[in-house]
Amino acid sequence: MIQEGKIGAYEIVSLITISFMSKFFFVMPTWFSQVLGTAICMGIIVSGLTSIIAFYFICLLMKRFPGKSLVEILQKVFGTIIGKTIIILISIYGIAYTAITLREFNDVLKTITLPSTPISVIFIVCLLAMVILSCLGLESLARTASFFSIALLIGLIAVYLLSAASFRPHRFFPLFGYGLDKIFYYGIWGSSSFIEIFLLAFFVNSLGGIKNLEKIGYISIIISTISILLGFTIYTLLSPYYTRSEVISAAFHIVRTINLGKFFQRFEAIFLFEWILSGLFCLSLYFYFMVTLFAKAFSLNDYRPLLIPYAVLIFTTALLPPDFSFIVYKAIPFKLYAWIPFCGVPFLALITAVIRKQKEDRKHT
């Protein structure tokens, strides 16, 4: 059995929040702007509320089988063969999801700061960091994230405060963007962006049980929603609507607006370290989850021999998209289907367990 250690609430909340906030460096704000117009803040609120509801049903499933992770529950509810098949399919989807995120991260990084560097070189450096962090384990990854969390928070607040001089409140209007129907439709689909929270169910034993899972999950959703909502609000106040859907990176765009005089410009060089660090935490979390999930499906005692083969597989997959436009218009919508394996499958398992009256005694907690 894979030993993942015991992780405190502060450490795992730091890891989840940092991973989620890294999406502000990716093209997530651009996609929201394209489909919601000026109502991106309302869209992320709907996504956050949808994630709370989805996580509630996941917790209901976990409470029926105290002491078991989601991997064990799926095998118990659906049977060993079907359960393992579902887990392997989720792992395969995780490969594609991680590869798309890696390509998205590298394309943004290459565009704004490393235009002459071959993308394969950036891939190798990122994958090397992902393999090292994953090799150390989830406990080390979470503690490293908690170590940098305060510095990253201070940097985030500094960006927001320094850009305040360029705020234009009229850019919030029209308030409902393309309409309430679009807000709810894409807001619900946008809940797939909270994939980090849904991964917690696979590591419930490392978190100290179901009660800690609930507390950590809800706190992470609330903090992540507030953080990204603040970022979306500032992005809206700074950017005209007609340019917002064409920006490669919202975080980079915000920092470029900071101007404190002739001798204080180009602040993106200072905050680049923060963006890269948060992105690597996000990618490492995905990578670790994907590898360990496959190892758990076959009851392997050690996942580390799988790190290099999976890194090569992700490297190859990440090179498949022909250009950045394909990432924005094809690959990002593909990531919206993450709710199917991470929310839909547990919900189906919950319904199946209720119908078949599958439940374990709570004394095993």
Residue range 230-257: mean pLDDT, rounded: 80
Q: What's residue 364's pLDDT?
A: 46
The pair of three-digit structure tokens given for residue 104, joined into one six-digit string: 């998205």
309 exposure class (CB count in 10 Å sphere: 0-12, 13-18, 19+) = exposed
- What residue spans define the domains of the chain? 9-357
Sequence-separated (6 or more) residues with CB below 8 Å from residue 8: 142
Q: How confident is the model at residue 365 (pLDDT cuts 50, 70, 90)?
A: very low
DSSP state at residue 6: -
Residue 50 pLDDT > 60, yes or no? yes
pTM metric for this prediction: 0.90
Q: What's residue 262's pLDDT?
A: 66
Residue 107 pLDDT > 70, yes or no? yes
Q: What's residue 4's pLDDT?
A: 65
Report how far apart, in Å, the C-alpha atoms of 133 and of each of 22, 142, 285, 289 are: 17, 10, 9, 12
Residue 323 pLDDT > 70, yes or no? yes
Tens digit of each residue's pLDDT (9 = 90 or more) over 51-97:
999 999 999 999 999 888 899 899 999 998 999 999 999 989 999 99
Fold of the domain spanning 9-357: Hydantoin permease (1.10.4160)
Q: What's residue 127's pLDDT?
A: 94
Tens digit of each residue's pLDDT (9 = 90 or more) over 182-221:
999 999 988 888 888 888 888 888 888 888 999 999 999 9
